[in-house]
Structure 1
Amino acid sequence: MTKLALFVRLEAKSGKENALKDFLESGLPLANAESETPVWFALRFGPTTFGIFDAFDNENGRQAHLNGKIAAALMARADELLATPPSIEKVDVLAAKLPA
């Protein structure tokens, strides 16, 4: 059962909105390659505010994701793309409807 998640809020630097959007879209193949990440979304909340929501069956999966390629790539480009450091929240999934 998918019971743990991460919610990451990202604020783009002025003029870097499209670059951050493109970066997030490019993360999908990396997320698809993570066997312990069954749920992954790249989100846009407004002109400069973006996010990532991903969910996991257990803490091992969540930690593997935090130590994985997407997180490493984001941190490598954070100074270039982000106005503030990413806000990373560990959250619990209370209920979910997922494809079978």
Structure 2
Amino acid sequence: MSYGLQVTLEAKDGRQEDLAQFLRDSLTPVLGEPGTTTWYSYRITDSLFGIYDTFPDEAARDAHLSGEVATALQGAAGEFLAGPPTVRKVDIIAAKAAG
């Protein structure tokens, strides 16, 4: 794991649970992505959510960015997001892995 993504998403007022459910439902397609090593979605505040995922290489990260979840998120953004997601590519410099 050398490559990651840090994404923050803010839900529109009253749409927090819709975004939370979207993130829960997103796990299934991500499980089918062989290049996505880890994937976490989480709540930061009542309306602010995050996604953090890791990849073995840049190609896997780019594939994820054009995958099913990213496409669905772009399509639903106007429906329950207060603004566009903030997507940051990150380079992992140290990690502890289970095993």
Global fold match (TM > 0.5): yes
C-alpha separation between the residues in 2 aligned to 1:99 and 1:72? 30
CA displacement 1:60-83 (0-9 Å, x = unmatched): 000000010010010010000100
In structure 1, list runs of 5 or more residues that go unmatched: none
Q: How many residues align?
A: 99
Aligned counterpart, 2:5: 6
- The equivalences for 1:73-92 within 5 A come to 73-92=72-91
Alpha-carbon offset, residue 97 of structure 1:
1.4
C-alpha separation between the residues in 1 aligned to 2:30 and 2:49? 17
Taking only aligned residues, the RMSD between alpha carbons, in angstroms, comes to: 0.7
Give the percent of matched residue pairs that are identical in Structure 1 and Structure 2. Answer: 41
Aligned counterpart, 2:98: 99
Runs of 4+ displaced beyond 4 Å: none
CA displacement 1:40-99 (0-9 Å, x = unmatched): 000100100001100101000000000100100100100001001000000011111122
C-alpha separation between the residues in 2 aligned to 1:99 and 1:37? 16
What is the TM-score normalised by the length of structure 2?
Answer: 0.97
What is the TM-score normalised by the length of structure 1?
Answer: 0.96
